[in-house]
Amino acid sequence: MHRSTDAGATWTEFAAPQYPKVAGGEKDDTAPSLKGIWSLEWAGADRPAGVWCGTAPGGLFYSPDLGDTWIMNDALWNMPERTKWIGGGTEHPALHSICVDPRRSDRVAVGVSCGGIRVTEDGGKTWGVGAHGLRADFMPPEMQYDPDIQDVHMMVQSPSSPDVYWLQHHNGIFHCTDNLKNWHEITTAPVSKFGFAVAVHPTNANTAWFAPAKKDEDRYPVDGNVVVQRTDDGGKTFKVQKNGLPQGNAFDLIYRHGLAVDTTGERLAMGSTTGSLWTTDNGGEAWSLLSAHLPPIYAVRFG
Amino acid sequence: MTHALYVSTRKGLLVYRRNATGWAHYATHFLGSPVSVMLPGTDGKTIVVALNLGHFGV
């Protein structure tokens, strides 16, 4: 891992988080080890050097000092329910979504594919369930509402109304308005309920954007048309935004971190697996192609 | 305030900044390396990145 504190003029390398050794030692094949870094988030305004890091196979780490030291969150890792987590299209579970509550940095929610949502109110000492209401229709009937096996693709929290969360699930789109007590399935998306990325408006919790793909086994845009689905009324209705996006024979898939909105709510960026990068200055009414020739894009962010 | 747009790719971290006509490429870091995730700060100066240097395939 690397960090810069001078806008990229210089970089400092530091060690990635490491899983602790277990009883069997380094040669024990059952010992957990880092399989990938899936998410990084600032830990809150009152912790200016604090960083949360989500990983595969599901461990959550905290650094109080911009990565010089990493502390594994044992409380989350040692939950008995964690043994139910499985990889979602990958070999290992991945902790990819970290929502630090803007009201109080001790409150953190994490999303796992496949492991549902866990939320802490005490900075990570204890973790409760945050996935009630999510539904996995690909599971046997008796397991479809099990909160610990839900395949969360991406979860975001409204900065302006922090009781509100939006979620793109393997199984569809979900909305929460009660601070992670219950989720409600949204079935009104006109193009597709499947996808990975979601972004929420910074000052209007009813507005969110989703980047749809066809479905689980067909991970490409519906009919080859790249579109964004935007709701402005909490999921009751959606607009299909396609102005400036390729229509026909497009194979761009938007990964879970491939869609971002800035603090104005008007500027967005979207990057695809086939190296296309689009931006908009009017909330998605019109998109502009910034480049069609980039490598596969994993993530976009404004800073 | 938005200072820049950061783009993590399989071949590096690209940075774009605004000019009079829109976003323009400003810098590329870690050229050729897979940048899994990045975390820009709100100060316009701090950036944390994770590279995934597992192999040298495509």
Q: What is the pLDDT of residues A176-202, one digit of tens each?
A: 999 999 999 999 999 999 999 999 999
The contacts found for A5-12 with CB under 8 angstroms, 24 or more apart, are A5/A66, A5/B45, A5/B46, A6/B45, A7/B3, A7/B4, A7/B44, A7/B45, A7/B47, A8/B15, A8/B27, A8/B29, A8/B47, A11/B29
Pick out chain A residues at pLDDT < 50. Answer: none
Mutate to test the interface with B, among A69, A263, A294, A301 (most CBs of B within 10 A): A301
Q: What is the pTM of this model?
A: 0.96
Residue type, position B54, single letter: G
Instruction: Supply the pLDDT for residue A25.
Output: 52
Instruction: Supply the pLDDT for residue A24.
Output: 54
Residue A264 with chain B: CB contacts under 8 Å: 2
Q: A2 and B51: CB-CB below 8 Å?
A: yes
Residue B1 has pLDDT above 70, yes or no: no
Residue B9 with chain A: CB contacts under 8 Å: 271, 275, 294-298
High-pLDDT (> 70) share of chain A, % = 97
Q: Which of A262, A275, A299 sits opposite B8 (nearest CB)?
A: A299
The whole-angstrom distance between residue A10's C-alpha and the CA centroid of its chain comes to 29
Instruction: Supply the pLDDT for residue A26.
Output: 53
- Quote the minimal CA–CA distance from A208 to chain B in Å: 19
Instruction: Supply the pLDDT for residue A21.
Output: 75
Q: What residues contact residue B51 under an 8 Å CB cut-off, 6+ apart?
A: A1, A2, B30, B33, B34, B35, B36
Q: Count of A–B CB contacts within 8 Å?
A: 123
CA distance B38 to A1: 10
Instruction: Supply the pLDDT for residue A23.
Output: 57
Strands (E), A15-86: 36-42, 51-56, 60-63, 71-72
Closest-CA residue in chain A for B41? A303
Q: B37 and A67: CB-CB below 8 Å?
A: no
Averaged pLDDT score across all residues of chain A:
95
Name beta bridge partners: A155.
A167
Q: Which of B27, B38, B51 sits opposite A299 (nearest CB)?
A: B38
Mutate to test the interface with A, among B37, B38, B43, B58 (most CBs of A within 10 A): B37
Residues A4-62 have pLDDT tens digits of 999 999 999 999 999 987 655 555 566 789 999 999 999 999 999 999 999 999 999 99
Name beta bridge partners: B49.
A2, B38
- CA angle in degrees (0–180, nearest 5) for A234-A111-A262: 55
Q: Alpha carbon of A195 to those of A76, A259, B55: distances in Å? A: 27, 11, 28
Q: Establish if A18 touches chain B: CB-CB under 8 angstroms.
A: no
CA distance B57 to A216: 26
CA distance A110 to A284: 28
Residues B12-54 have pLDDT tens digits of 999 999 999 999 999 999 999 999 999 999 999 999 999 998 6
Q: B39 and A40: CB-CB below 8 Å?
A: yes
- Quote the minimal CA–CA distance from B44 to chain A in Å: 6
Q: A299 and B50: CB-CB below 8 Å?
A: no
**Closest Cα to residue A52, out of A41, A37, A44?**
A41
Residue B2 has pLDDT above 90, yes or no: no
ipTM of the complex: 0.95
Residue B35 with chain A: CB contacts under 8 Å: 298
Q: Establish if A40 touches chain B: CB-CB under 8 angstroms.
A: yes
Instruction: Supply the pLDDT for residue A88.
Output: 87
Residues of A (256-295) whose Cβ lies below 8 Å from B: 257, 262-264, 267, 269, 271, 275, 277, 279, 281, 288, 290, 294-295
* Per-residue tokens: A301: 């962010």
Instruction: Supply the pLDDT for residue A112.
Output: 98
Q: What is the DSSP string of A2-16?
A: EEESSTTSS-EE-PP
Instruction: Supply the pLDDT for residue A216.
Output: 83
